[in-house]
A and B are shown apart, each in its own frame.
Chain A
Amino acid sequence: MQQFAGAARPQEFGVAEVERDPHLSHLKRLEAESIHIIREVAAEFRNPVMLYSIGKDSSVMLHLALKAFYPSKPPFPLLHVDTTWKFREMIQFRDDTAKRLGLNLLVHINQEGLTRGINPFDSGSSLHTQVMKTESLKQALDKHGFDAAFGGARRDEEKSRAKERVFSFRTASHTWDPKNQRPELWRTYNTRINKGESIRVFPLSNWTELDVWQYVMKENIPIVPLYFAKQRPIVERDGTLIMVDDERMKLADGEQPEMRMVRFRTLGCYPLTGAIESTADTLEGIVTEMFTARTSERQGRLIDSDEKASMEKKKREGYF
């Protein structure tokens, strides 16, 4: 159109060597997209919070939040929903991270669930997750009146995640209606909600597991040591390698923890998270292993395969 006729940098098609469009590299592009999303939330919501689950994805998301607002600090707190069954090294790492970065970290535990004695061994993974994660999360969001919550979920993780929007609307009772999601065009996100409603925001939607690892390596982002291979006390149950992290782990007859060289591809509650045998004790080793991986990361997650369409069901109920 006419107003571009005098553009300062006309496309120089006539010259011998046409300058190619200098596009951002793959990771830079992902990084910029996530920063854009995070800033959009900070600018448009009254009271946002960043869910911090201590894993590699949370570490990357937090790193991106630091970048988004530099030299300011991220203008929202971190929230960890603690099931009380996380690996001890995770809790240590969580507290160290908040201290190192000088961030406001909120920790929420479902006291009612604790009183009822809910635990992954006796209650089963499904009830434990429902009470100590999903219900607990809803309690925390309601308690603080958060109107937007960042989560580190990625679309490549699971089929129902692949269907989710970047800005995912939740009713006042935190439910997700996957059949009726708001259309989401370009990077123009609809952030409008009525009182009591909220939005879950996924800045890492378009990242893959491999992207996350390459970025961790490139940016030198601190992660929980459990991701690196090490000799750890393991029992094998139904083909899953469970690490005996504390004395609450009840051993069946004849079960004897043995030291094995393992690492974790994904981190959750220790009794529900399977380790993989690996010798990758450096980031380079992990990335190399990733390229040759034949199974998905969530394979080690016992909660995903509880029942048919398991993740979608949990998500409808308010799980992240």
Chain B
Amino acid sequence: MNDITLHRDLAKFLAEQEGKSLLRFLTCGSVDDGKSTLIGRLLYDSKLLFDDHLSALEKDSKKHGTTGGDIDFALLVDGLEAEREQGITIDVAYRFFATEKRRFIVADCPGHEQYTRNMATGASNSELAVILIDARKGVLTQTRRHAYIASLLGIRHVVLAINKVDLVDYKQKVFEPIVAEFKEFAKDLGFSNLVAIPMSARFGDNVIEESPNTPWYNGPTFLSHLETVDVETALAAQPFRMPVQWVNRPNLDFRGFSGTVVSGRVRKGDKVVVAKSGRESTVKRIATMDGDLEEAVAGAAITLCLADEVDISRGDVLCEPTARPEVSDQFAAHVLWMMDDEMLPGRQYLLKVGTATVPATISELKHKVDVNTLEHLAAKTLGLNEVGYVNISTSRPIAFDPYAENRDTGGFIVIDRFTNATAGAGMIDFGLRRATNVHWQAMTTNKRLRSAIKGQRPAVLWFTGLSGSGKSTIANLVEQKLCNLGRHTYMLDGDNVRHGLNRDLGFTDADRVENIRRVGEAAKLFVDAGQIVLVSFISPFRSERRMARELLEPGEFIEIFVDTPIEVCMQRDPKGLYEKAKAGEIKNFTGIDSPYEPPELADITLPTVERPPEESAEEVIEFLRERGFIF
């Protein structure tokens, strides 16, 4: 490309540039298989490095290099200080390059298991995966893990790069068994195109030039394969989908819906439907700053104006009337967990699908997948970097497609509600039909009516605190006082509920979450009956208390923190439990070997040290009077 010096060639040249297709691929595999080195070699041999980068590389190689004075290509992509010091890749690096035939975006992914989530990040936007294998080591656990995750994220094209063949004397009989072993493992992973290439990234064998050292290999070189592999996904031929990002309303005369066409195409005059509401309209304009368009295809960022006033907001999906997405509040999906805290069925998370964000819970973990054998294993929770198959229930219906058909409307992220961390990535399999068929039974008598006859506003008084903090004592007193005032109450006590409704649950984190979920639901039924419900539960996790809060209407949930220091609780130890926990006779005891997360903003905080329970109970009654729950 360096011979372009004349202006008159420029226009032609630019047109060629514009027309080149793009291949997005990732490099993955186990630690030290040579991923970064391969990318570095590719850039170096295709003369795509700037002089100042090259001289910096030579300098760096002497300082940090692991190749004994030779250029260490890995240093080209391992850009973080920690990476260079430790000689490992921690996060994805993106590199951009182009040859005469094609443009490339390569995501160089880390090999360590602990950084699997970063590998998934790289895979989510790639069409092809280059899986490296060290010829001396063969197929390793990480090779299988990465192959599986690439497959899970929808990658159908794989290059198996058997690297470091120089260290096994370029032997065909080393190469072939590795390829056979990988193919056997990958036979159910849905790869439509798998090409194995023997190479040496360090010395350049079969990277760009055919190697004289592997005369037995007749396939393409690495680069020539990348330049020619057909990965067309025909997105524009799929049904039209546009998740609405933003409602554009500069003045009364213009109302547009902005978003990216993620699949299919849309023309002026086309009928479109709002997936969730089923409301239909016609495309009046496709507005852009460069003028109105007649048609927009997959990938375009546009603004649609419709012929009718239809209620549409961010999170809605516009689609074509004859090929709509599913709409449901329950679906089955694969989830890759990405957070240190394990995934707990029953806990509430946020789910972001396209442009819609909704509260959701994992209603069931059906199994987790052993990445080594692809076997299904029974599990109660998912840990960091584990993959599970789950049912998910969202707080309101969403529109989606199976991930296999549409990455944009079928992929979702899971967000932790407290840290806001991206806790997981999910790929929707199918909607659960049940959701569309179980409808709410509309009742003529309602909560308002039921509570009105009782002369009170229903509420949940949620007492949380350590074991022995005095929750039940105070709750009992409050209930007595309310009964004396002629109010209608009900008490759900932690220990008592565990004898009946929750008899089947233990004390693991997962069971604690389910424990609270059931009590929350039970309390909700009593509130619907018009009662003032007292719940006395240790309920150690913020997220579950929040989940209980969100089951109810705003204002109905009153969080009462019985604030007693653990030393005092241990001293009181009314049931002798701390003694047993310390002796190791009780596992997962809150405050001893299981955490308690105090409320950040309790509605009422009751310190109990040097304060009689009677006073605390009176404070709660006073609160209920002030807020108009009792009059």
Q: Chain A: residues with CB nearer than 8 A to chain B? A: 1, 3-4, 6-9, 11, 19-29, 31-33, 35-36, 39-40, 42-43, 66-73, 155-156, 158-163, 178-179, 181-188, 190, 192-194, 197, 205-206, 208, 214, 284-285, 287-288, 291-296, 299, 308-309, 312-313
Contact = CB atoms under 8 A, between A and B. Distances in A.
B245 A206 contact: no
21 contacts: A1-B405, A3-B324, A3-B326, A8-B323, A21-B236, A32-B299, A32-B301, A68-B301, A72-B248, A73-B250, A159-B77, A162-B79, A178-B91, A179-B82, A183-B117, A183-B120, A183-B422, A192-B420, A292-B4, A296-B50, A299-B50
Interface in B45-97: 50-53, 76-82, 84, 90-96
A188 B411 contact: yes
A214 B10 CA distance: 11
Contacts of B290: 67
B106 to A, nearest CB: 10
B80 A156 contact: no
B262 to A, nearest CB: 8
Given A162-B94, A192-B420, A309-B81, A67 B324 contact: no
B165 interface: no
Contacts of B259: 39
Given A21-B233, A183-B422, 12 more contacts: A3-B326, A23-B236, A24-B299, A24-B300, A25-B18, A35-B301, A36-B260, A69-B246, A70-B303, A288-B5, A288-B7, A294-B51
Nearest to B256: A71
A39 B90 CA distance: 30
B278 to A, nearest CB: 14
A205 B84 CA distance: 23
B570 interface: no
A284 B408 CA distance: 38
B225 interface: no
B609 interface: no
Contacts of B303: 70
A52 B560 CA distance: 48
B129 interface: no
Interface in B214-232: 232
B413 interface: yes
Given A179-B82, A190-B422, A296-B53, A159 B93 contact: yes
Shortest 6 CB-CB contacts between residues of A and residues of B:
A159-B79, A35-B301, A70-B289, A192-B420, A185-B124, A72-B250
**Interface residues of B, dominant DSSP:** mixed
B335 to A, nearest CB: 12
Interface string B1-34: 1101111001001100111111000000000000
Interface in B314-365: 314, 320, 322-326, 338, 350, 352-355
Given A4-B405, A312-B80, A288 B234 contact: no
B93 A293 contact: no
A295 B94 contact: no
B596 interface: no
A195 B264 CA distance: 39
B105 interface: yes
A9 B245 contact: no
Contacts of A299: 50, 52
A256 B259 CA distance: 56
B407 interface: yes
B22 A163 contact: no
**Interface residues of A, dominant DSSP:** loop
A39 B246 contact: yes
A32 B300 contact: yes
Which of under 10, 10 to 19, 20 to 34, or 35 or more describes the interface residues of B? 35 or more
Contact of B354 (A4, A188, A313): A188
Contact of A1 (B6, B118, B245, B402): B402
A150 to B, nearest CB: 15
Nearest to A309: B81
B352 A188 contact: yes
B92 A163 contact: yes
Contacts of A160: 79-80
A185 B121 contact: yes
B301 to A, nearest CB: 4
Contacts of A287: 10, 14
A182 B93 contact: no
Contacts of B425: 183, 185
B287 interface: yes
A192 B118 CA distance: 19
B314 A26 contact: no
Given A26-B20, A72-B250, A179-B91, A295 B52 contact: yes
Contact of B93 (A8, A26, A29, A162): A162
B372 interface: no
A295 B51 contact: yes
Contacts of A40: 245, 355
A163 B93 contact: yes
Contacts of B91: 163, 178-179, 181
A86 to B, nearest CB: 24
Contacts of B515: none
A69 B569 CA distance: 59
B631 interface: no
A287 B21 CA distance: 21
Contacts of B258: 39, 68-69
A292 B323 CA distance: 49
Nearest to A218: B14
A199 to B, nearest CB: 10
B483 interface: no
B492 interface: no
Contact of A25 (B19, B84, B90, B125): B19
A194 B233 CA distance: 38
Contacts of A43: 245-246, 314, 355
Given A32-B300, A155-B94, A184 B422 contact: yes
Contacts of B320: 8
A285 to B, nearest CB: 8
B353 to A, nearest CB: 8
